[in-house]
Amino acid sequence: MRSMNSDTKARLLGLIGLGSVAVWLTISIGSSFYLCLVSLRWPKLPVRVVSSGVSTGSSNLGTWWAPDVDYVYLLNGRAYHSATIRFIEPPFYEKDGAEAVLAGYPAETQTTAAYDPKDPARSVLEPGVPPGMWKKALIPPFFWALTAYIFYEIVHPRRRWMLR
What is the rounded CA–CA span in Å between residue 26 and residue 22? 6
Q: Is 137:29 a contact under the CB 8 Å cutoff?
A: yes
- Which residue from 26, 30, 10, 49 is spatially nearest to 129, judged by alpha carbons? 30
Q: Around Cβ 87, how many Cβ atoms within 10 Å?
A: 22
pTM score above 0.95? no
Domains of the chain by residue range: 1-41+130-157, 43-126
What is the rounded CA–CA span in Å between residue 69 and residue 25? 27
**Sequential pLDDT tens for the chain (164 residues):** 466 677 778 878 888 998 999 999 899 888 888 999 999 999 999 999 999 999 888 878 788 999 999 999 999 999 999 999 999 887 788 889 889 999 999 999 999 999 999 999 999 999 998 877 778 888 889 999 988 988 887 787 676 665 55
H or E segment and range at residue 80: strand 78-82
- According to DSSP, the residues that pair with 75 across neighbouring strands are 78
